C-alpha cells in the first residue's frame, strides 16, 4: 500500500499522458533512504505495462530499466549495462565502449573521448524513440558511474522532440549527486518529485492497514515517534509488534514492541545512506551525542560540514532526533555490528582528541576505561593518578577499574607490582576473597622476587593471616626488612600481631642493625595512628591504668580518619575501650565509624566495625542489639569473606542467642565451618569463650570448663592474660560450682579479683562467684560491690544476675522488703536485656503482683538535695550523726533534719535501708 503518494502517482500518470501525445520528458524522484522510491517506481512501471498493452494509448512502448548499486559505480557504463545489453548497438560503437572501459577518467573528470562516447550511446537510445514510445526507468541513479550519468544527462537535454520518458530515482542525503539531479531537470522539461517521510497521519493509515483501526488509534503516535515516518522502519516495527503480540492493539501503559526487524531495518538504512553517515552513526553509538562537533567530525573522519550533512541525513531518515538515537535498539544494533576492537579504537581516538585539545583528565580516562586498553606508559601513570582521586571521592569502582587497567598494560614490572598492591588494598574494601583469588598470588611472587615495594609487604602479611595461610605469612616475614620498610611500620605490625595473631609475633625476624629505632610519627598521619595503637596494645598487655588506656584510645579515634591505613588502628582503639569497660565511649564512636564506612562504600570495614559493635552491645547487656549488629555484619560481608576474623562476629551471636534462651540459633552458629588458623588468633579465643558459655547454659559443665581452660592456656601462652579480654577464671569458677567443687571455684574467683581493676566488669564477675561460695551473711557486701561494679561499667546482663542473687540473699536473711525491691529491679533489667532464662529465674512470689504495691522509693516524694544525698550516703556507710556532722562541718541538728527528710522522700523508716534504696535508684536510672 502506497500512503501519501497519490500526488506523485498523478504526476507520473500526467507524464504518461503527454508521452501518449508524443511529448517526451523527465521525471526525477528524490528522497531519503527508505522513503518509498522503489515502491513508487514499481507502481509506475506497473501502470506503464498496463497502458502498453495492445489497444491502449501507449501500445508497443519499449520499457527499459536499470538499477544502481555501489558496484555499478565502479564500472564504465555499469549503471546502463542492462539497457545496453537490450539494445542492438552498432559494432563500432560496441568496440569503442569496450575500449573505453580501462580509463574513462582523467583527474576525476571524463576524458573528451569518453564524453563523446556517452553522447553517441545516448543518441542510440534516443533513436529507438523514433519508431515507438520509450520509457527508460533508472532507480538509485546516485550510485551510477560517470559515463552512465553523462549519458542520462545528455538524453534529458534531448527529450524535447523525442517520444521518450526518462524516469530517474535519486536518493538524497550525504554523497548524492546534486549536479546530476539538476542536469536531469534541464530547461524545465523535467518534473521533480520529492518524497518526504510519512506524516503522523500517514503512519496512522499504514498501521491501520496492517493492524486495524483500533491498533492505529492507540499506537500510531508511538510508531511515528520511533520511526519519524520512515516507511521501512514503520513496517519493521509493525512486524515486531505482530511477532510479539499477535497484532493485538496496544494496551494503555504498554510500550511498543520494538525488536529484531527494526534492528535489521536500521542497518539497512545505514548501509544505503553512505559511508559518512554510517561512520557518524557509529561514533554516536559508541560515544553518545553529547560530544563536541569537532570531536565527532574528527572521529568520523569528516569535516564539520560533512558532519552536519550526515546528522541531517540521519535525522531525515528517522534514526536520530537531534544527536540522539530515536530508540535504544537503534543504538544497540549499531554497536552490536561493531567489533570490540572497533569500539576500542573509537574510544582511544576520542581520548587522543581530548588530550590534544587539553580537555579534562577524567574524560580521557573515561575513554581509556571504555576502550579497555592504553598504548603508552604515560597513560598508565595517568590511570594511577585518577584512581587516587577517585578514592578521595570514595568512588571505589572507578578506582578499581583504573588500577586494573593500569596493571594490565604496565610494562615496568616494579611499577606493575606496586599497582597490583594498591589495587588489592582497594578491592579489600569490598571483597577479601577477591584479593585472595585474583591478586595475592601475584603479590607473593613479586615479594619473593624483591620487586614489591617494602611498604606493601605488611599488607600482604595481613592478607595471608586473614585467610589463615599462616605458613606463607611466616615466609613473608623474611621480607619485612627489605630496605624500604620503616621501623614504625615494622614495630606497629609486631604489636598488631601480638594483639591479633600472638603466635606469629614471636616468629618475627630480629631487627637488622641498618634499621633504626622508630622515630616519632607526624601527628594526624596513618603512621601516628599505628604508633598510638601499638602503644595501646602495650599498655593493655602490661596492665596499665584503664583511664590511661581510654585516653590513648580516644586520641586514636579523634586523630585518625577512617581509611585503609587506619581501619586497624581504629578497631584496636574501640576494642581497647571495651577491654577497660568504657562502653559509654566505644558505642558512639563505633556507630559513627560504621556509618562512615557505609558512606565510603567499604563493606569490609563496615562489617569488621559492625562485629565490634555487636561485642559492645553484648557487653552492655543489649542482647537483641548484639544479634542485630552481628547479623548486619554478616549481611554486609558474607561468611566466606571473613577468614579467621569470623570468630569476631560469631562469638557475640553465640553468647547473645544463648542468654536470650535461643539455644537452637546459638547451636546453628556453632555448626558453621571454621577457617584454618582461626585458633591461632585472638578471634579464635573469643569463639572458644563463647562456645564455653553455650555449653555452660545447656548444662554441659565439663565441655564448658574445657573451653574456658583452653582460653586461659592460650592467654597465658601468648602473654595476654588480661582480665578485660575474657574473664575465663570467673567462667571456669562457675563450672566448678556446677560440678560441686567450691574450693576450686573460690580459688579461681580470688585469682580473677586480684588481677582485675577495682570496679571493673571482671571484678564484678569475680565478686559474684565469691558471694556464691560464701555464707549468706557474707554475701551481701560482695554482691553489693558486684552491683556497683556492673552499674559503673554498664554491664546490664550481669547486673540483673547480681541483683537477683542479692535479692535472694536478702530473702534468705529474712529482709523481705529489701528482697522485693532488689528482685523487682532484677526482673526489670533482665526483661530489658531480653534475657528470657534469667527472667524465668526471678521468684515471682517475692515480687508484689500489682503496680499499686510498689514501694514509695520507686515513686519518691521528691528528689534528694545535694546536702541530703551527702548525709544519706555517709549514714548508709555506717557513720553516726556526730561523725557526719564533723565530716560535713554542720550541726547534729542539721544532720537529723536532713535524715528526716531523706526517710520521707525515700519512703523508708530504717537507717539500714538507705544504701539499698540509693543503689537501686541508680540501677533504675540505667
pLDDT reported for residue 177: 47
Q: Is residue 319 domain-resident?
A: no
Q: Is residue 166 domain-resident?
A: yes
The angle at the Cα of 887, spanning 885 to 891, to the nearest 5 degrees, equals: 20
Q: Is residue 158 domain-resident?
A: yes
Residue of higher predicted confidence among 476 and 340:
340
pLDDT surpassing 60 at residue 483: no
Nearest to 20 by CA among 41, 51, 50: 51
pLDDT surpassing 80 at residue 488: no
Q: Do 132 and 219 belong together in one domain?
A: no
Range of the domain at 214: 197-257
What is the b/e burial string over 211-247, where b = at least 16 CB atoms within 10 angstroms of the residue's CB? beeebbebbbebbbebbbbbbbbbbbbbbbbbeebee
Q: Do 12 and 132 belong together in one domain?
A: yes
**Contact assessment for residue 839 and residue 854, using Cβ atoms and an 8 Å cutoff:** no
pLDDT surpassing 70 at residue 253: no
CATH number for the domain spanning 874: value is 1.10.10.10
pLDDT reported for residue 211: 83
Q: Is residue 220 domain-resident?
A: yes
**Number of folded domains that form the chain:** 3
Residue 644 vs residues 443, 460, 568: alpha-carbon distances, Å: 20, 15, 15
Helix (H, G, I), strand (E, B) or coil at 628: helix
Q: Do 189 and 212 belong together in one domain?
A: no
Q: In this structure, how many other beta carbons lie within 10 angstroms of the beta carbon of residue 87?
A: 17
User: Quick one: pLDDT band at residue 912, thresholds 50, 70, 90?
Assistant: low
Q: 168, 196, 224 — which closes off a domain?
A: 196
The C-alpha cell at 908 is: 523508708
Q: Do 136 and 233 belong together in one domain?
A: no
How far is it between the farthest Cα atoms of the chain?
A: 151
Q: Do 12 and 150 belong together in one domain?
A: yes
How high is the mean pLDDT of the chain?
87
How does pLDDT run across 700-748, given as a tens digit for each residue?
A: 999 999 999 999 999 999 999 988 999 999 999 999 999 999 999 999 9
Helix (H, G, I), strand (E, B) or coil at 106: strand
Q: Do 137 and 223 belong together in one domain?
A: no
Q: Do 89 and 233 belong together in one domain?
A: no
Q: Report the alpha-carbon distance of residue 682 to residue 26 in Å, rounded.
A: 96
pLDDT reported for residue 271: 87
| 120 CA to centre of own chain | 73
Q: 196, 214, 246 — which closes off a domain?
A: 196
How does pLDDT run across 786-828, given as a tens digit for each residue?
A: 998 998 899 999 999 999 999 999 888 988 888 888 888 888 8
Q: Is residue 282 domain-resident?
A: no
Nearest to 297 by CA among 221, 365, 364, 353: 353
How does pLDDT run across 515-572, given as a tens digit for each residue?
A: 555 455 555 566 778 888 889 999 988 889 999 999 999 999 999 999 988 999 999 9
Residue of higher predicted confidence among 351 and 179:
351
Burial of residue 15 (CB within 10 Å: 0-12, 13-18, 19+) is buried
Q: Report the alpha-carbon distance of residue 589 to residue 587 in Å, rounded.
A: 5
pLDDT reported for residue 247: 63
Q: Is residue 703 domain-resident?
A: no
pLDDT reported for residue 926: 55
pLDDT reported for residue 651: 97
How does pLDDT run across 103-153, given as a tens digit for each residue?
A: 677 666 888 888 888 999 999 899 888 889 999 999 988 888 888 999 998
Helix (H, G, I), strand (E, B) or coil at 32: coil
CATH number for the domain spanning 180: value is 3.40.50.300
pLDDT surpassing 80 at residue 757: yes
- The pTM of this model reads 0.77
Q: 196, 228, 249 — which closes off a domain?
A: 196
Q: Is residue 387 domain-resident?
A: no
Q: Do 157 and 217 belong together in one domain?
A: no
User: Quick one: pLDDT band at residue 856, thresholds 50, 70, 90?
Assistant: very low
Q: Do 25 and 145 belong together in one domain?
A: yes
Residues in the chain: 926
| 218 CA to centre of own chain | 40
Q: Do 148 and 222 belong together in one domain?
A: no
Q: Is residue 908 domain-resident?
A: yes
Q: Do 135 and 207 belong together in one domain?
A: no
User: Quick one: pLDDT band at residue 918, thresholds 50, 70, 90?
Assistant: low
Q: Do 219 and 252 belong together in one domain?
A: yes
Share of the chain above pLDDT 90, in %: 52
DSSP 219-274: HHHHHHHHHTT-HHHHHHHHHHHHHHHTTPPPPTTPPP---HHHHHHHHHHHHTS-
Amino acid at each position: 500500500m502506497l500512503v501519501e503518494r497519490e500526488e506523485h502517482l498523478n504526476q507520473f500518470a500526467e507524464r504518461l499522458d503527454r508521452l501518449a501525445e508524443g511529448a517526451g520528458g523527465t521525471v526525477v524522484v528524490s528522497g531519503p533512504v527508505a522513503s518509498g522510491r522503489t515502491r513508487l517506481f514499481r507502481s509506475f512501471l506497473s501502470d506503464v505495462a498496463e497502458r502498453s498493452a495492445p489497444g491502449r494509448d501507449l501500445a508497443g512502448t519499449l520499457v527499459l530499466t536499470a538499477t544502481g548499486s555501489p558496484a555499478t559505480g565502479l564500472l564504465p557504463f555499469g549503471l546502463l549495462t542492462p539497457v545496453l545489453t537490450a539494445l542492438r548497438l552498432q559494432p563500432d560503437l560496441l568496440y569503442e565502449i569496450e575500449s573505453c572501459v580501462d580509463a574513462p577518467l582523467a583527474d576525476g573528470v571524463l576524458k573528451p573521448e569518453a564524453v563523446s562516447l556517452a553522447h553517441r550511446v545516448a543518441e542510440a537510445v534516443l533513436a529507438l524513440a523514433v519508431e515507438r514510445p520509450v520509457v527508460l526507468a533508472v532507480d538509485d541513479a546516485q550510485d551510477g558511474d560517470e559515463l552512465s550519468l553523462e549519458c542520462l544527462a545528455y538524453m534529458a537535454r534531448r527529450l524535447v522532440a523525442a517520444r521518450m520518458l526518462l524516469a530517474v530515482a535519486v536518493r538524497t542525503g550525504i554523497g548524492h549527486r546534486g549536479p546530476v539531479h539538476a542536469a536531469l531537470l534541464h530547461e524545465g522539461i523535467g518534473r521533480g518529485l520529492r518524497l518526504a517521510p510519512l506524516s503522523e497521519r500517514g503512519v496512522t493509515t499504514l498501521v491501520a492497514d496492517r493492524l486495524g483501526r483500533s491498533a492505529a488509534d492507540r499506537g500510531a503516535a508511538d510508531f511515528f515517534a520511533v520511526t519519524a515516518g520512515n516507511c521501512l522502519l514503520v513496517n519493521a516495527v509493525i512486524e515486531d509488534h505482530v511477532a510479539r503480540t499477535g497484532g493485538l492493539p496496544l494496551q494503555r501503559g504498554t510500550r511498543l514492541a520494538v525488536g529484531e526487524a527494526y534492528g535489521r531495518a536500521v542497518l539497512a538504512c545505514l548501509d544505503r545512506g553512505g559511508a559518512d553517515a554510517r561512520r557518524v552513526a557509529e561514533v554516536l553509538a559508541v560515544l553518545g551525542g553529547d560530544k563536541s562537533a569537532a570531536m565527532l567530525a574528527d572521529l568520523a573522519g569528516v569535516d564539520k560540514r560533512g558532519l552536519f550533512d550526515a546528522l541531517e541525513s540521519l535525522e531525515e531518515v528517522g534514526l536520530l532526533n537531534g544527536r540522539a538515537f530515536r530508540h535504544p535498539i537503534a543504538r544497540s544494533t549499531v554497536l552490536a555490528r561493531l567489533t570490540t576492537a572497533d569500539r576500542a579504537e573509537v574510544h582511544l581516538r576520542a581520548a587522543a582528541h581530548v588530550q590534544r585539545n587539553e580537555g579534562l583528565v577524567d574524560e580521557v580516562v573515561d575513554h581509556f576505561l571504555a576502550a579497555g586498553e592504553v598504548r603508552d606508559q604515560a597513560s598508565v601513570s595517568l590511570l594511577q593518578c585518577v584512581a587516587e582521586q577517585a578514592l578521595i571521592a570514595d568512588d571505589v569502582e572507578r578506582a578499581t577499574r583504573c588500577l586494573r587497567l593500569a596493571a594490565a598494560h604496565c610494562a615496568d614490572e616494579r611499577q606493575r607490582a606496586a599497582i597490583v598492591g594498591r589495587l588489592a588494598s582497594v578491592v579489600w574494601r569490598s571483597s577479601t576473597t577477591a584479593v585472595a583469588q585474583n591478586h595475592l598470588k601475584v603479590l607473593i611472587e613479586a615479594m619473593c622476587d624483591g620487586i614489591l615495594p617494602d611498604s606493601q609487604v605488611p599488607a600482604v602479611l595481613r592478607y595471608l593471616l586473614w585467610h589463615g595461610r599462616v605458613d606463607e605469612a611466616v615466609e613473608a616475614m623474611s621480607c619485612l626488612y627489605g630496605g624500604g620498610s620503616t621501623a614504625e611500620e615494622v614495630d606497629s605490625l609486631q604489636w598488631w600481631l601480638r594483639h591479633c595473631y600472638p603466635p606469629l609475633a614471636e616468629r618475627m625476624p630480629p631487627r637488622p642493625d641498618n634499621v633504626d629505632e622508630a622515630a616519632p610519627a607526624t601527628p594526624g598521619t596513618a603512621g601516628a595512628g599505628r604508633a598510638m595503637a601499638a602503644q595501646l596494645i602495650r599498655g593493655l598487655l602490661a596492665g596499665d591504668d584503664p583511664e590511661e588506656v581510654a585516653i590513648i584510645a580516644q586520641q586514636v579515634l579523634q586523630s585518625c580518619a577512617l581509611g585503609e591505613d587506619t581501619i586497624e588502628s581504629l578497631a584496636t582503639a574501640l576494642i581497647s575501650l571495651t577491654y577497660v569497660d568504657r562502653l559509654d565511649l566505644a558505642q558512639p564512636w563505633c556507630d559513627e565509624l560504621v556509618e562512615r564506612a557505609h558512606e565510603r562504600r567499604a563493606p569490609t570495614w563496615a562489617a569488621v566495625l559492625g562485629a565490634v559493635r555487636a561485642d559492645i552491645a553484648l557487653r552492655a547487656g543489649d542482647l537483641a542489639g548484639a544479634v542485630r549488629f552481628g547479623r548486619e555484619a554478616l549481611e554486609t560481608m558474607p561468611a566466606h569473606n571473613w577468614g579467621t576474623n569470623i570468630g569476631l562476629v560469631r562469638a557475640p551471636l553465640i553468647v547473645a542467642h544463648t542468654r536470650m534462651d535461643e539455644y537452637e540459633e546459638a547451636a546453628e552458629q556453632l555448626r558453621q565451618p571454621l577457617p584454618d588458623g582461626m585458633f591461632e588468633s585472638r578471634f579464635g579465643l573469643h569463639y572458644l569463650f563463647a562456645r564455653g558459655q553455650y555449653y555452660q547454659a545447656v548444662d554441659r559443665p565439663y565441655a564448658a570448663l574445657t573451653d574456658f581452660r583452653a582460653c586461659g592456656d592460650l592467654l597465658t601462652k601468648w602473654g595476654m592474660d588480661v582480665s578485660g579480654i575474657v574473664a575465663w577464671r570467673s567462667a571456669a569458677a562457675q563450672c566448678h560450682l556446677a560440678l560441686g567443687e567450691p574450693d576450686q571455684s573460690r580459688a579461681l574467683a580470688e585469682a580473677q579479683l586480684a588481677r582485675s581493676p577495682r570496679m571493673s566488669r571482671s571484678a564484678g564477675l569475680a565478686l559474684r562467684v565469691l558471694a556464691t561460695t560464701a555464707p549468706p551473711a557474707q554475701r551481701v557486701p560482695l554482691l553489693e560491690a558486684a552491683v556497683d561494679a556492673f552499674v559503673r561499667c554498664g554491664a546490664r546482663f550481669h547486673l540483673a544476675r547480681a541483683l537477683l542473687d542479692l535479692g535472694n540473699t536478702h530473702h534468705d536473711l529474712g529482709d523481705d522488703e529489701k528482697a522485693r525491691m532488689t528482685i523487682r529491679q532484677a526482673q526489670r533489667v533482665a526483661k530489658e536485656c531480653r534475657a528470657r532464662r534469667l527472667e524465668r529465674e526471678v521468684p515471682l512470689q517475692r515480687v508484689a503482683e500489682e503496680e499499686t504495691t510498689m514501694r514509695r522509693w520507686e515513686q519518691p516524694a521528691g528528689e534528694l538535695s545535694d546536702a541530703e544525698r551527702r548525709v544519706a550516703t555517709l549514714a548508709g556507710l555506717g557513720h553516726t550523726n556526730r561523725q557526719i556532722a564533723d565530716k560535713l562541718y554542720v550541726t547534729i541538728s542539721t544532720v537529723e533534719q536532713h535524715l528526716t527528710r531523706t526517710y520521707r522522700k525515700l519512703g523508708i523508716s530504717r537507717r539500714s535501708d538507705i544504701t539499698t534504696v540509693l543503689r537501686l535508684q541508680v540501677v533504675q536510672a540505667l
